[in-house]
């Protein structure tokens, strides 16, 4: 098998084909899009191949036939007809309100020059767009293809400054509205971005866009399928564990049964020949973390959570649901669908090991005021549990919790206090790949946290103590709850030993007070307790 060039960072279809790089043929899906409609919208996370997809469509409508030889669409396309293409990309910075107009005017003038048209007499972006579409149509005799890349970046980049974000949104709403007003001059429109801003807030003027973000027919338009890995990239697989590739980088789902691999990760894996969080390391999820804190939501609460379409697509400057933010940016994906009548709900969870490890690690680092390394903390706590050193486990956990500010307690709800401590330990173990089950369900209720280390199972229950005098009662209550509700029963056949751990935390102290551990089947000498 002949190895080809890895198209890392290549967003130009011409460059990819001319350098004999690997290419997963997306033209069957592109042909379906063009045959079935004229106005399309697609949301996908960053670095999933959206820019390359648009450039492929651009080359197709421009009639660059040589680039498509050997691809599925080649014998099905009329190469004698070409269309002018207006491609807009909103890469760049938008810190000031004037930046967006300046960027648009520069792009429109560039298209104008390349088409050999005289400079427009109009001075604003919307006016120039309307004028340019008319003149491109008249000069070429063919209607214009409009491709918009990163349509939402001027808004996403300024979410930390809501006034600028709203101004950019309002400007874009008027600008995109010109496309609908110019329908007589338009052949095809494709808009891509990360977020799914509501049509009311951003696309009220372009409300004929069909959103295919969760359409099973186009679920593989971006990303690689398992079959792509095994065929197109077969020469690169030698020496790599195929199952590990799946665990680390597969799992993204946008409708239907097919899951896709993160293309950025896969290409860098084939070059570096080691498993790392390549994609995660290229982003800055600080806004995500601040949103979770502001809304008093722990990542533990989002795992396996069912949400309907209104939540996972609820994205606007003044109203962003955590589910939408996590899903649209690629940190959660759809793992299951449930239909009830005319409504569909989606189960969200981590797509793969890369995101599961990295998101928890980064969030803990974001919270830890002492800049300690979460991975080291997690490994230390894991080792103490494995050794059944519950005294040391409690002391280590207490010292670590003291370094982290209390963020998710604004409601004052008792369950919220307990969830805060459970979520920190959950994130710590998630970051190092420990098998953790938050709010594990039994026939009689939910355990706060279940940790599995080899053939040992640890069932943890967190309780809040109002004072030091209340600690013993809360520890008794925690262990009694585990026993009385049979949380350990489901593990008795598969585990060599099961440990029940009650953890009492102080409402006023805002830290761990005591830990008590005992085996699921008590020994004569009783349990272990630390303070």
Summarised one tens digit per residue, pLDDT across range 456-488 is 999 999 998 888 889 999 999 999 999 999 999
In b/e form, how buried is each residue of 331-367, taking b as 16+ CB within 10 angstroms?
bbbbbeeeeeeeeebbbbbbbbbbbbbbbbbbbbebb
In terms of Cα–Cα distance, which of 296, 370, 288 is closest to 332?
A: 288
Pair 465, 505: CB distance under 8 Å: yes
Q: Which of 386-400, 405-419, 427-441 has the lowest mean pLDDT?
A: 405-419
Whether the per-residue pLDDT at 419 is higher than 80: the answer is no
Task: Say which residue the tokens 């003038």 belong to.
Answer: 109
How many other β-carbons are positioned within 10 Å of the β-carbon of residue 12? 16
- Residue 504 has a pLDDT of 92
- Residue 109 has a pLDDT of 97
Q: How far apart are CA 129 and CA 141, in angstroms?
A: 18
- Residue 211 has a pLDDT of 92
Most confident stretch, 9-18, 358-367, 378-387: 9-18
Whether the per-residue pLDDT at 203 is higher than 80: the answer is no
Q: How confident is the model at residue 416 (pLDDT cuts 50, 70, 90)?
A: low
Q: How confident is the model at residue 412 (pLDDT cuts 50, 70, 90)?
A: very low
Pair 46, 194: CB distance under 8 Å: yes
CB within 8 A of 126, min separation 6: which ones?
Answer: 174, 175, 177, 178
β-partners of residue 515 are 503, 530
Q: How far apart are CA 394 and CA 368, in angstroms?
A: 18
Tokens, residue 450: 């279940």
- Residue 202 has a pLDDT of 73
Task: Give the residue with greater pLDDT, 151 vs 427.
Answer: 151
Q: What is the mean pLDDT of residues 85-92?
A: 93
pLDDT digits (tens, 9 = 90+) for 296-340: 777 677 778 888 877 777 677 877 888 888 898 999 999 998 888
Q: What is the mean pLDDT of residues 132-147?
A: 98
Torsional sign, CA 174, 175, 176, 180: positive
- Residue 467 has a pLDDT of 85
Alpha helices in 241-352 (DSSP H): 242-249, 263-272, 286-294, 299-302, 309-312, 322-328
Q: What is the pTM of this model?
A: 0.87
Question: How many residues can be counted in the chain?
Answer: 531
- Residue 374 has a pLDDT of 63
Q: What is the mean pLDDT of residues 80-108?
A: 93
Q: Which of 255-269, 381-395, 431-445 has the lowest mean pLDDT?
A: 431-445
Alpha helices in 160-238 (DSSP H): 162-181, 226-231
Whether the per-residue pLDDT at 220 is higher than 90: the answer is yes
Average pLDDT, the chain: 88
Whether the per-residue pLDDT at 102 is higher than 90: the answer is yes
SS3 for 431? coil
Burial class (CB in 10 A: 0-12, 13-18, 19+), 371: exposed
Torsional sign, CA 339, 341, 344, 349: negative
> Phi-psi region for residue 497, left (φ > 0), alpha (ψ -120 to 50) or beta?
beta
Q: Look at strands 343-349 and 333-340 and give their pairing.
A: antiparallel
Q: How far apart are CA 325 and CA 287, in angstroms?
A: 10
Q: Which of 65-74, 121-130, 249-258, 315-324 has the lowest mean pLDDT?
A: 315-324
Q: Which of 119-133, 412-426, 514-528 has the lowest mean pLDDT?
A: 412-426
Q: How far apart are CA 367 and CA 420, in angstroms?
A: 12
Q: How far apart are CA 477 and CA 474, in angstroms?
A: 5
SS3 for 197? coil
Cα 349 to Cα 59, 237, 331, 343, distances in angstroms = 37, 28, 8, 20
Percent of the chain residues past pLDDT 70, beyond the cut: 90
Most confident stretch, 317-321, 386-390, 398-402: 386-390
- Residue 531 has a pLDDT of 45
- Residue 135 has a pLDDT of 98
- Residue 408 has a pLDDT of 47
In terms of Cα–Cα distance, which of 17, 21, 23 is closest to 3?
A: 21
Pair 153, 193: CB distance under 8 Å: yes
pLDDT digits (tens, 9 = 90+) for 339-364: 888 788 889 999 999 999 898 888 87
β-partners of residue 173 are none
């Amino acid at each position: 098998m002949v190895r080809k060039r890895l198209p890392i960072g290549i967003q130009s279809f011409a460059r990819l084909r001319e350098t004999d790089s690997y290419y997963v043929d997306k033209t069957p899906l592109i042909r379906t899009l063009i045959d079935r409609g004229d106005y399309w919208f697609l949301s996908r996370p960053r670095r999933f191949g959206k820019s390359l997809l648009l450039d492929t469509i651009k080359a197709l409508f421009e009639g660059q036939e040589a680039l498509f030889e050997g691809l599925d669409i080649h014998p099905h396309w009329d190469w004698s007809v070409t269309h002018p293409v207006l491609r807009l990309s909103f890469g760049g910075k938008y810190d000031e309100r004037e930046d967006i107009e300046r960027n648009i005017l520069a792009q429109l003038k560039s298209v104008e020059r390349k088409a050999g048209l005289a400079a427009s007499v109009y001075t604003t972006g919307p006016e120039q767009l309307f004028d340019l579409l008319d003149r491109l149509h008249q000069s070429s005799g063919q209607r214009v293809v409009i491709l918009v890349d990163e349509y939402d970046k001027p808004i996403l980049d300024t979410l930390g400054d809501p006034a600028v974000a709203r101004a950019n949104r309002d400007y874009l709403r008027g600008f995109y509205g010109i496309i609908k007003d110019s329908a007589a001059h338009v052949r095809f429109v494709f808009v891509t971005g990360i977020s799914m801003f509501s049509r009311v807030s951003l696309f009220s003027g372009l409300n004929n866009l069909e959103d295919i973000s969760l359409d099973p027919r186009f679920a593989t338009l971006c990303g690689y399928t398992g079959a792509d890995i095994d065929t197109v990239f077969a020469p690169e697989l030698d020496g790599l564990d195929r199952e590990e590739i799946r665990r680390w980088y597969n799992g993204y789902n946008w409708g239907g049964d097919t899951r896709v691999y993160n293309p950025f990760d896969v290409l860098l894996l084939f070059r570096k020949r080691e498993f790392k969080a390549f994609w995660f390391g290229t982003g800055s999820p600080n806004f995500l973390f601040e949103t979770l804190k502001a809304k008093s939501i722990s990542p533990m609460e989002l795992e396996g959570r069912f949400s309907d379409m209104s939540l996972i697509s609820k994205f606007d400057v003044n109203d962003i649901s955590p589910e939408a933010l996590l899903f649209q940016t690629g940190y959660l994906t759809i793992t299951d669908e449930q239909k009830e009548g005319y409504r569909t709900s989606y189960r969200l969870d981590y797509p793969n090991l890369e995101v599961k490890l990295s998101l928890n690690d980064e969030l803990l680092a974001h919270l830890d005021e002492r800049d300690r390394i979460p991975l080291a903390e997690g490994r230390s706590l894991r080792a103490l549990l494995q050794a059944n050193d519950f005294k040391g486990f409690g002391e280590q956990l207490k010292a670590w919790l003291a370094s982290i500010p209390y963020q998710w307690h604004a409601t004052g709800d008792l369950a919220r206090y307990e969830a805060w401590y459970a979520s920190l330990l959950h994130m710590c173990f998630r970051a190092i790949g420990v098998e953790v089950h938050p709010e594990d369900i039994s026939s009689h209720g939910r355990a706060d946290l279940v940790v599995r280390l080899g053939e040992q199972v640890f069932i943890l229950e967190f309780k809040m103590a109002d004072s030091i005098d209340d600690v013993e009662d809360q520890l008794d209550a925690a262990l009694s709850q585990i026993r009385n509700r049979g949380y350990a029963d489901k593990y008795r056949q598969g585990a060599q030993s099961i440990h029940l751990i009650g953890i009492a935390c102080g409402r006023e102290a805002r830290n761990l007070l005591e830990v008590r551990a005992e085996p699921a089947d008590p020994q004569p000498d009783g349990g272990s307790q630390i303070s």
